[in-house]
Structure 1
Amino acid sequence: MEWERIEVRDENGVGFDLIQHEELILPATLQHMEHEKQLKMIREFKYKKGDILLCSYPKTGTHWLSNLVYFLVTPGSVESMKTVQPTLMDLVPLEPLEKVEHSRVLNSHHRINRLPFDHLEQGGKIIVLTRDPKDAMVSYKYHVQNFEMLNRSNLSWNNFFDIWVNGKLPCGSFFDYYNSWEKALKENKELNVLIVHFEHLKTNGLKELRRIQDFLEVNNTEERLKEILDKCNVTKMKADIDTGEVESLLKDSDGKSFLYRKGESGDWKNHFTVALNEHFDNVLEERFKDSIFNAEFLAG
C-alpha cells in the first residue's frame, strides 16, 4: 500500500504531517501501523445477528450516540451502568471482538467501501450520524489543538477553516464522506440504514430515541428512555472521565481528557466571522446543496 505524505502548515509554520492512500487520510504518526492488514480485517469482519454499526465523520457526536445506543440495547438499571468508550474498528485490535459471542455495537469513520462486507451483505443495522458542518468544524479545531498525534497544533483559525473545507485532515472531507453515503443509499435500496442528526437529538431527544429504538427493534419504557437521555448528557459523560470512572486515551498536555467539549449546537457563531460564514455558505451550496445530510434540511 503506497502512501503519499502531506505537510499541513499555517502561515506561522504551525501544523502536522499526514499520510494519504486513495480516500484514506491518517496522521503520519500512525505510518508504522499495518494499515493494509487492519483494512482487510475490517472488510472481512464476520457479522453476528444483532450487530450494530455506527458510522460518522469525526466530531459529529460519535461518543454520545455510541452511549445512547449502548444503553438502549443493554438491559438493567441505567443508574448502575457506566458510560462506555466507542469501539472504533478503524484502529482497535479486532481479534478480541471476533470472539465476543453476543451482538456488538461497533463504530467506524471509514466510508462504506471499507466497512465489513458481511454486515452489509446480511442487512446488518447501520446508523449514520451527521451534524451541522459548521459545528463539526469548530469541534475538530479544538480536537486538533489537543491531539498529540497532530502535534497539538493550534493552527490559525482562517488556515484551519481552509484545511477543513479542503479535507486535509484525518478522515478527509466531511462533504465527500456524506456524499459517498448518499450515493450508496441511492444505488443500494437494500442497505439497512437509519440517518440520525445531532441537532435532532439535541432538540427532541426522546422522539429521536424512540425512532432509534424502533429501528433497532428494542423496547425501553418511556421512563427508561428519559433515564438514558439524562445519563448520557455531556456533563455526566465528561464527569465519568474526569473522576476516573471511565478511561480516555485522548488527553491534553496537562493530562486532562479532551474527549468532550461543549456538545452544543450553534457554537460556530462564536467563531465564524461574517466573511467566513458567507464563504462557507458558498461551499455548502456547491458541495452539499441538495444533500439529505445538509443541516439546512433538518426541519423534519
Structure 2
Amino acid sequence: MEQFMKLSPEEKEKALDAIRNMKFPIYDGCMLPKLDPLMANTEKHMESVRNFESKESDILLCTFGKSGTHWVHEIASMILKGEAEYSSTGKVDVMLEIADMDKLKDLPSPRFINTHFAFRHLPKKHVENGYKIIHVSRNPKDVMVSFYHHALNDPFAACAEEDFPGTWSDYIQDMCENRHNFYGGFINYEREWEEAKKTKAVTNVHSAFYEDLKKNPVAEITRLAAFLNKDLSTQLIQEIADKCSFKNLADATISGKKGEDLIPMFSRNKKNFIFRKGTTGDWKNWFTVAQNEMFDQMLERGFEGSDLKFTYELN
C-alpha cells in the first residue's frame, strides 16, 4: 500500500491494469481474490490461516461476499466498544484473506476478525474449541447483483484477461455454471455452513440474515449483543441502529468520518464499490424472466434437501 501511494496517477493506473490482468489464485477448488498474501503464496497463506492461534476471546465474522460484512462488522464493533461511535479502522485490517498473520496474533483482545473463506478453511483451533462465530447470510439474487457491481470496479475481484465479470448476461450465466466460483460459490458456501451446524462441527455460532437486520435492526442488534455478552441499554442499541443504517454508514465512510476512504483510489469508476444500494429486492431490476428461471433452477438443484430459506423482498 505504501509503495502504491507513492506512485504518480499514471503509474497507479498502470499498476491497477496489471492487477486486472492477473489470474485468480485457486485453492482447494475455490477461486480467491487477488490479494497480496494469496498471490504471493496461496498454499502458505491458507495454511497459516488454518493454523492461526485463536484465543477464547476471539470473535470471527463469517460471510459470503456482499452479504453485509462491513455493515455487521461496524455494528458488532460498536457493541463490543459499548458506544455508538464509528471505528476508524475497517474490516479489511483484520480480514484473514489479506492480514499479516504475524501482526494479527499481536492484536489486543478481544480480536474481532472477519473472512469470506469457506467453513473448512477457517482456523482449526477457533472452530474446534467452540470460540464465538457470527455467520451472516443474504439472499443469493441480491448477492449476485451486488457482487457484479463490485467486480466491475474492484481490480482484485475482476480479470480482464478472462473477461470477468463481463456483461450482466455473461456474468449471471457464469454464476449459474459456477465457473468463477469465488470461495467455492454461494451454494457450496452456505451448504457447508448448514451441514456444519447440523452435525455440530461448529457450536458457538450466531446465525443472522441480512434481510432480518434490514427489517428489524433493533431486535437483531439486541440479539447479537446478547451473543457477545454485552448488556446494552435500549437507547444505545437504537443509537447503533441509527448510526449503522445503510445511508449513515455509507455517508460516514465516504465522507471520511471513519477515516480516509481509500477505495476510490483502486476503483475503476473512482467511487467506493463497497456501498451501492444496500436494499433487498434490487435483483428484480437486473434479472430477466429467463435469467431468473435459470437461476431458480440452479438454486433448486443446489439446495435440494436443504432447510435453508431466503427472503427475496421485504414488505
- Given candidates 115, 126, 136, the residue that maps to 1:129 is 136
Q: Give the Å deviation of 1:47.
A: 2.1
Residue 62 of structure 2 contacts residue 116 of structure 2 at CA under 8 Å; is this kept in 1? yes
Q: Give the Å deviation of 1:24.
A: 2.4
Matched, 1:234 2:240: no
CA gap 1:140/1:297 in 2 versus in 1, 3 angstroms: closer
Matched, 1:196 2:208: yes
Matches within 5 A, 1:27-106: 27=33, 32-76=39-83, 78=84, 80-82=85-87, 84-86=89-91, 87-106=94-113
Matched, 1:155 2:162: no
- Given candidates 148, 167, 173, the residue that maps to 2:185 is 173
Where does residue 262 of structure 1 map in the other structure? 277
Gaps of 5+ in 2: 1-19
Q: Give the Å deviation of 1:107.
A: 0.5
1:143-171 per-position Cα deviation (integer Å, ceiling 9, x unaligned): 11001231475611121002222331432
| Stretch of structure 1 that moved more, 21-30 or 141-150 | 21-30
Where does residue 226 of structure 2 map in the other structure? 214
Letter in 2 for 1:159: D
Residue 135 of structure 1 contacts residue 268 of structure 1 at CA under 8 Å; is this kept in 2? yes
- Given candidates 225, 249, 260, the residue that maps to 1:247 is 260
Letter in 2 for 1:272: F
1:224-262 per-position Cα deviation (integer Å, ceiling 9, x unaligned): 011001111222222222223333443323432211111
- Given candidates 132, 144, 147, the residue that maps to 2:151 is 144
| Stretch of structure 1 that moved more, 109-118 or 57-66 | 109-118
TM-score, normalization: structure 1?
Answer: 0.86
Residue 85 of structure 1 contacts residue 248 of structure 1 at CA under 8 Å; is this kept in 2? no
Matched, 1:291 2:306: yes
Q: Give the Å deviation of 1:75.
A: 2.3
| Stretch of structure 1 that moved more, 115-124 or 233-242 | 233-242
- Give the superposed CA RMSD: 2.5
Q: Give the Å deviation of 1:29.
A: 7.5
Residue 241 of structure 1 contacts residue 248 of structure 1 at CA under 8 Å; is this kept in 2? yes
Superposed structure 1 runs of 4+ greater than 6 Å apart? none
Gaps of 5+ in 1: 1-13
Residue 67 of structure 1 contacts residue 84 of structure 1 at CA under 8 Å; is this kept in 2? no
Q: Give the Å deviation of 1:93.
A: 0.8
Q: Give the Å deviation of 1:190.
A: 5.5
Report the number of matched residues.
284
